[in-house]
Amino acid sequence: MSGESQSAPSSRLSLSNRADRQNGGIDPSTVRMAEQPAEGFGDELRQEVTYDKLDGVGAVDWEEATDRFRTWYDDARGSKIVIENDVGDTTAFRTPNRFTPDYREMLYAKAQALERGLRERWGRLLHTAMLTLSASSTDDSGNPLPPVEHLGELLASWEAVRRALSRVLDGREWEYLAILEPHESGYVHVHVGVFVKGPVVAEQFQSVIDAHLRNCDLAQREAHEIVDDDGEEDTVRVRRASHPSRQNGVENLGAYLAAYMAGEYGKEATEMPEHVQRFYATMWATGRQWFRPSNGAQELMEPPEEEEEEYDELTPDWEVVGLAPEGQPEEELIEFDPREANSHPYRRLRRDPDGITSGGRGRG
pLDDT digit string, tens, across residues 92-129: 656 778 898 888 888 888 888 898 899 999 999 999 99
Q: What is the distance between the alpha carbons of residues 364 and 353, in angstroms, rounded to a whole number? A: 30
User: What is the distance between the alpha carbons of residues 106 and 98, in angstroms, rounded to a whole number?
Assistant: 10
CB-based contact 38:50 (threshold 8 Å): no
Of 127, 128, 132, nearest to 234 (Cα)?
Answer: 132
Cα angle 43-44-48, degrees, rounded to a multiple of 5: 155
Alpha helix stretches (DSSP H) within 236-321: 253-262, 274-286, 295-301, 305-314
Tens-place pLDDT, residues 174-200: 999 999 999 999 999 999 999 999 999
CB contact set of 80 (below 8 Å; sequence gap of 6+): 92, 93, 94, 95, 323, 324, 327, 329
pTM beyond 0.85, yes or no:
no
Position 47, amino acid: Q
DSSP conformational letter for 17: T
CB 59 within 8 A of CB 50: yes
Domain edges within the chain: 32-96+320-362, 101-301
Instruction: Measure CA 213 to chain center.
Output: 22
One digit per residue, pLDDT tens: the chain, 364 residues?
333 333 333 333 434 334 444 555 789 999 999 987 545 455 689 999 998 887 778 899 999 999 999 999 988 887 666 666 766 666 665 677 889 888 888 888 888 889 889 999 999 999 999 999 999 999 999 999 999 999 999 999 999 999 999 999 999 999 999 999 999 999 999 999 999 999 999 999 999 999 999 999 999 998 898 865 455 557 888 877 654 444 444 456 777 777 766 667 778 999 999 999 999 999 999 988 888 999 999 999 886 655 445 545 555 676 665 555 555 555 555 565 555 555 557 666 665 555 444 444 333 2
**Secondary structure, 3-state, 143-197:** CECCHHHHHHHHHHHHHHHHHHHHHHCCCCCEEEEEEEEECCCCCEEEEEEEEEE
